[in-house]
Amino acid sequence: MDRLACEFVASAGALADCPRWDRIEVALVGRSNVGKSSLLNALAGQHRLARTSRTPGRTQTINFFTLGESLALVDLPGYGYARMPQPLATRIAGAMREFLAGRSNLRGLILLIDARRGAQREELDLAASAHERGLTLFAVATKCDKLKRSERSAALAQMRALETEPILCSVHTGEGIDLLRRRVLSAGR
Ligand SMILES: Nc1nc2c(ncn2[C@@H]2O[C@H](COP(=O)(O)OP(=O)(O)OP(=O)(O)O)[C@@H](O)[C@H]2O)c(=O)[nH]1
Ligand SMILES: [Mg+2]
Residue whose CA is at the smallest distance from ligand 1 atom 14: 35
pLDDT in tens, 70-123: 999 999 999 999 899 999 999 999 999 999 999 999 999 999 999 999 999 999
Q: Which of 11, 29, 33, 143 to mutate to test the pocket of ligand 1 (most atoms within 8 A of CB)?
A: 33
- Report which ligand 1 atom has the smallest distance to the Cα of 52: 16
Q: Cα–Cα distances in Å, from 97 out to 29, 73, 79, 82, 147? A: 12, 18, 11, 18, 32
pLDDT in tens, 127-161: 999 999 999 999 999 999 999 999 999 999 999 99
Does ligand 1 lie within 6 Å of residue 173's CB atom? no
Q: Where are the domains of the chain?
A: 6-187
Q: What's the pLDDT score for residue 2?
A: 59
Architecture label for domain 6-187:
3-Layer(aba) Sandwich (3.40)
Helix, strand, coil percentages for the chain (3-state, nearest 5): 35, 25, 40
3-class SS of residue 157: helix
Confidence check: pLDDT of 1 > 60: no
- Report which ligand 1 atom has the smallest distance to the Cα of 30: 19
Spatial distance between the Cα atoms of 177 and 171, rounded to a whole number of angstroms: 7
DSSP assignment, residue 87?
Answer: H
How many whole angstroms from 142 Cα to the centroid of ligand 2? 14
Q: Cα–Cα distances in Å, from 91 out to 8, 29, 35, 136, 174? A: 23, 17, 21, 26, 34
Does ligand 1 lie within 6 Å of residue 176's CB atom? no
pLDDT in tens, 6-61: 999 999 999 999 999 999 999 999 999 999 999 999 999 998 999 999 999 999 99
C-alpha R_g of the chain = 15
